[in-house]
Amino acid sequence: MTYQGDNLMSVKRANRSAALRILHEKGAMSRKRLAENMHLTPAAITKIVGELIEDGLLLEGDMLSSGTAGRREILIDLNPRFACGLGILLNFRQATLSAAWLDGSVIFSEKVMLEESAPAEETVAMLSARLLALMQENGLTDDRLIIGLGLAVRGITAEDGRVVRNSFGALKETDYPLCKKFEEMTGFPTVMENNVRSLFSAHMFLSRDEGIGSQFFIRCGTGIGAALSIDGKIWQGVTAQCAEIGHIPVVRRGGKPCRCGK
């Protein structure tokens, strides 16, 4: 059996990521409360927070009123203007290009009409060019501001989240390496997810305070899509199609044909 340890840089990166994720999901809090959430010592949190403030990722805010004598705690929070994320939602005959700051504030959002079964190469080139133009128009000229590009695509995506298996009419090609192509065209690291699971992820984040761990999510549009979460985690299954109820025949004969022809 081979054992492998973590070097100090890996531990540091993991701790920084955990701190940022907690503040993103739960909002501003004191160093003491952050230490409790991360199960780390106050000294360790002080060092992590200090470095993140120095790097510009965190900001100090108001002081908490303790109601007792002694040193009052200071709230820390994400710096929402430190960076932003880009997004492309690729649907049937339409795409939405967007950018948002870390607090979710929308910088721009624009719908672009597409032809049915659009040629993939031409579509990626056109959407990439328009996205870069929108960034220029909105003052996002420093690439250091950009975390990366997120793609939400209708249909079936590969297990590794890099390839579109079948977009059912959005793109002409199947088994198309969409992430790689957008990375080549835009220069930004790119991740991809099925559009319904992407919407579900956003819903779970926005409703996180409700304490609902297991949900079944349905989206009705030109087709019917679904996603499932168990204990706060979205399940994809072996083929990344868990809960995908679209294209399942519900009428034995004489029913209306699906857009896919079946």
Each residue's pLDDT tens digit, 110-128: 999 999 999 999 999 999 9
Encode pLDDT of 158-205 as tens digits: 888 899 999 988 999 999 999 999 999 999 999 999 999 999 998 888
Is 255 a residue whose pLDDT tops 90?
Answer: no
The whole-number pLDDT of residue 5 equals 56
Tokens matching residue 147: 């975390």
Nearest residue to 127 via CA among 194, 198, 184, 191: 184
Rounded to the nearest integer, the mean pLDDT of the chain is: 89
| Eight-state DSSP code of residue 256 | P
Contact 32, 47 (CB under 8 A): no
Q: Which of 154, 188, 185, 159 is nearest to 171 (CA)?
A: 154
Structure tokens at 86: 């880009």
Q: Is 210 exposed, middle or buried (0-12, 13-18, 19+ CB in 10 A)?
A: exposed
